[in-house]
Structure 1
Amino acid sequence: MTDHSTQQRRTPPKPGVPDAPAAVPAVFSTPAVVASCVGFVLIGVLQALYGPAIPALREEFGLSPSAAGLGLSAHFVGGVAGVLLFDRLYGRIGNRRILGTSYLLMAIGAAAFALAPNWPLALTAALLAGVGFGGIDYGLNQLFAVGFGHRSTAMLNILNAHFGIGAILGPALIGTAGADRYPTVFLAFALTTLPLLLCLRGVSDHTPHPTAPRTATPARTRALRSVLAVFVTLYVLHVGIEAGVGGWEPTHLETAGYSAAMAATATSGYWLMMTVGRFLVAPLALRFSPQTIITVSCAGMTASLLLAAIPPLAPYAYAAVGLFIAPIFPTGLPWLHRAAPTARRAGALVIAASMAGGVAAGPSLGKVIEWSGVNAVPLLLSAISATCLAATLWLTRTTRTPTTPEHTRTAL
């Protein structure tokens, strides 16, 4: 009681200084931070399970490559719906209820996907699991963005690094159990999700909102809309690349002459490098701007995808793609918060739009496979990556303003 009242008396005199340390205990307890990271491990597992399961799904349900890719697309459609739904509910109902509902929907959907007797029901189940996925993805990213002040960029990279840990485990689990036993893996995933409901007491039901923006002129409003549109483009395309590599790397490597086990292991390596990249960027984010980090990431990602078209280099090139793509999603969010005055709504829109890239990746790459063969996939993805680089350079030039640490804290 004494510490709390003292902290309240100390907060007003220096608005920029105490916000960051006070935000952490106000939003999360330490066990809740750990549980949030575990939650991101689980959503990483779920997203990464669909790709390695494609061969078994095609055999069981008699699917074409593009039809099998719809499983991951249904997951992302549900993710978009989950982000938009829970953005509407954010601030109206408690954070615990939002996250708890998301975990339940994800577990129920995963179990239903495992037990589905036909492909339409399996797609419906993937959609339901995706709604929960979207709620967790949006909810925890939003809470971390407002709960850690000037450390948000580093903490968001750490949070999203745990997504990569799960994405490593997903293909490894399928590879160990065998693709034909994917139902067992999905059921185990559903059961593992449920204990996280017990950790939600450590999450505050009410969180601070970003500082209200100053009144903007019509010209500035139009400029900000353009910035937001390009951010949306960047997120749509880079998540399309992320999902495309994760979903179709095994098929491409098998076509290039690698064994199924080697292809699954290499896919795990891709997700491993994504995880490593995010942990590496956490300290770098305190020294380099988001613009610099994302520009280097897009350039390296483009070069790596071009190298992936060369069969002997393909597994290593895909691993490099994981390393370079890693920081884009979490590092871009604080940049967006500083560039757009309506930071919370803009963040929800960008996260939802990023999932649209995952929606399009499955069937689009499936069509490329049917028309041009698997070998065309890395070249297509490299062209998309070059577009990401162009978008980043435009955003860097357009949003270039003197930014002080205090400004950063206020924007977040």
Structure 2
Amino acid sequence: MEAGPVFTTSAVVASCFGFVLIGALQALYGPSIPALRDDFGLSPSAAGLGLSAHFAGGVAGVLLFDRRFGRTGNRRILAVAYLLMAAGAAGFALAPDWPVALLAALLAGIGFGGIDYGLNRLFATGFGRRSTAMLNILNAHFGVGAILGPALVGAVGAEHYPALFLAFALANLPLLLCLRGVKDHAPQPAPADTGDRTPVGAALRSVLAVFVTLYVLHVGIEAGVGGWEPTHLESVGYGAGAAATATSVYWLMMTVGRFLAAPIALRFSAQTIITVSCAGMTACLLLAAVPDLAPYAYAGVGLFIAPIFPTGLPWLSRVAPGARRAGAIVMAASMLGGVAAGPALGKIIEWSGVGAVPLILAAVSAVCLASTLWLTRTTRRPSP
């Protein structure tokens, strides 16, 4: 095995820029819908299939690239993922018809999934006790990209979406040069004495199932707030502009929360951080049911939900080191949670009304809190 750190400083910087790119690419599809409808003669639902194809590719990419980890060098895996995302983004920009554009979005999504999974996995184990902090920084850059993408569409106009997709495709290519700073075959670090215990057999399967539940539900809340906050705020008397601004603040606070979580992760355990996050998220969603407090409460949701995804991965790696595919299953499930959140919430809202959005999400958040408490109790090493 190669000695030395898993990432050089330049490779860390390039990885963070890679996460800016995947965040921006994912966020480009929605603001481009008006132009896509004009170019291809699509209905709103058909135009929305671009993002669905991207997410479907993301799930496939996570599962496909997971099968190659340990068999193929890290540099080659990440290089293939960057090239697939670049090819898919360029294909989407230049597609002559909608079926070809959907295939290109699927291809870009496969590369997206490989980058998302590959870098999260390497960051989860590549920095020792600093891994949780570094994962929060890495994923914060995804938020930077998610904010940047729609801002660029707004600046240049939706009709120029092909130029933006091409620009992001080309921006992947210099990152290939920085892969020399990634250790090709990184050994698994020795488990630290964190007070966690490793469950086995049926107990391990239960732990993995609850981790999947936590990830599916919290990503569902993340997507649910992002998708339904504007509608809820407008239903309680806020103008469309104010509602849109409040939703932008929600995404901004999620990015800020991950940067803030990095130093906190050096002092507190993953269990503590996620427990506080779920409790704070639940409280803020309950407060969002009060119209005067709703915009501020949703900003609080963004702040509290921010550390959950990146902080849970090192915890999972520690308590299930033998379950090689655990991280891939959890990440793929989280993407499915984001896809399912919109239709599922829509159905519930049909009979409960838009005003119930924060209370519905608060109930889901309470399940996240209960899951975290159960995981903490189950994986805590008994006192001698």
Q: TM-score scaled to structure 1, two decimals? A: 0.80
1:233 aligned partner, one-letter code: T
Q: Deviations over 1:120-170 (max 9, x none)?
A: 444333222111111111111111122211211111111111112112212
1:163 aligns with 2:142: yes
TM-align CA RMSD: 3.2
Q: 2:185 aligns with which of 206, 213, 223?
A: 206
Instruction: Give the structure 1 partner of residue 194 of structure 2.
Output: none
Q: Deviations over 1:371-410 (max 9, x none)?
A: 766555444333322221221121122122269xxxxxxx
How far apart, CA to CA, are the structure 1 residues paired with 2:232 and 2:155? 20
The 5-angstrom pairing of residues 282-293 of structure 1 reads 282-293=262-273
Contact 1:70 1:362 (C-alpha < 8 Å) held by counterparts: no
1:29 matched to 2:1? The reply is no
Contact 1:52 1:179 survives alignment (8 Å): yes
In the other structure, the counterpart of 2:26 is: 47
Give 1:263 deviation, angstroms: 4.8
Q: 79, 92, 102: which one pairs with 1:123?
A: 102
Q: Deviations over 1:222-273 (max 9, x none)?
A: 1011001000111111112223333454555566666665555433322221
Which residue is equivalent to 1:82?
Answer: 61
Of the three residues 188, 210, 215, the one matched with 1:235 is 215
* 2:172 paired residue number: 193
Aligned to 1:220: 200
Map 1:12-411 onto structure 2 (within 5 A): 25-54=4-33, 61-64=41-44, 69-116=48-95, 119-210=98-189, 220-250=200-230, 262-310=242-290, 312-367=292-347, 375-401=355-381
Is the Cα–Cα contact under 8 Å of residues 138 and 351 in structure 1 kept in the other structure? yes
The question of whether the paired residues in 2 share the 8 Å contact of 1:51 and 1:248 is answered with no
Structure 1 residue identity aligned to 2:281: M
Write out per-residue CA displacement over residues 295-319 of structure 1, whole angstroms, 9 at most, x where no aligned residue: 1111222232344455554433332
Aligned residue identity for 1:287:
R
SS in 2 for 1:28: coil
In 2, Cα distance between the equivalents of 1:205 and 1:333?
21
Tell me if structure 1 keeps the 8 A contact 2:147–2:252.
yes
TM-score, scaled to structure 2: 0.86
Distance 1:153 1:175 in 2: 34
> In structure 1, the residue corresponding to 2:312 is in which secondary structure?
helix
CA contact (8 A) 2:128 2:189 kept: no
Query: What residue ranges of structure 2 are gaps of 5+ in the alignment?
Result: 192-198
Residue 171 of structure 1 and its aligned partner are, at CA, apart by 2.8
The Cα of 1:279 is off from its aligned counterpart by 1.6
| Cα deviation code 1:56-77 (max 9, x no counterpart) | 5567654355x55544332222
Separation of aligned partners in 1, 2:381 and 2:321: 14
Q: Structure 1 residues 125, 363: closer, same or farther in 2, change over 3 A?
A: farther
3-state SS of the aligned residue for 1:26?
coil
2-structure distance, mates of 1:187, 1:327: 32
Structure 2 distance, partners of 1:188, 1:252, is: 35
Contact 2:275 / 2:369 at 8 angstroms: preserved in 1? Answer: yes
C-alpha contact (below 8 Å) 2:124/2:317 kept by paired residues? no
8 A Cα contact 1:57 1:63, kept in partner: no
Cα deviation, 1:71-100, whole Å, max 9, x if unaligned, reads 433222211111111111112222111111
Aligned residue identity for 2:299: A
Displacement after TM superposition at 1:287 (Å): 2.0
The answer on whether the counterparts of 1:246 and 1:267 sit within 8 Å (CA) in structure 2 is yes
State which drifts further: 366-375 or 67-76. 366-375
Instruction: Say if 2:33 and 2:44, in contact at 8 Å, map to a contact too.
Output: no
Closer/same/farther in 2, CA of residues 147 and 107 from structure 1, 3 Å limit:
same
Match of 2:196 in 1: none
In structure 2, relative to structure 1, the CA distance for the partners of 1:377 and 1:347 (3 Å cut) is: same
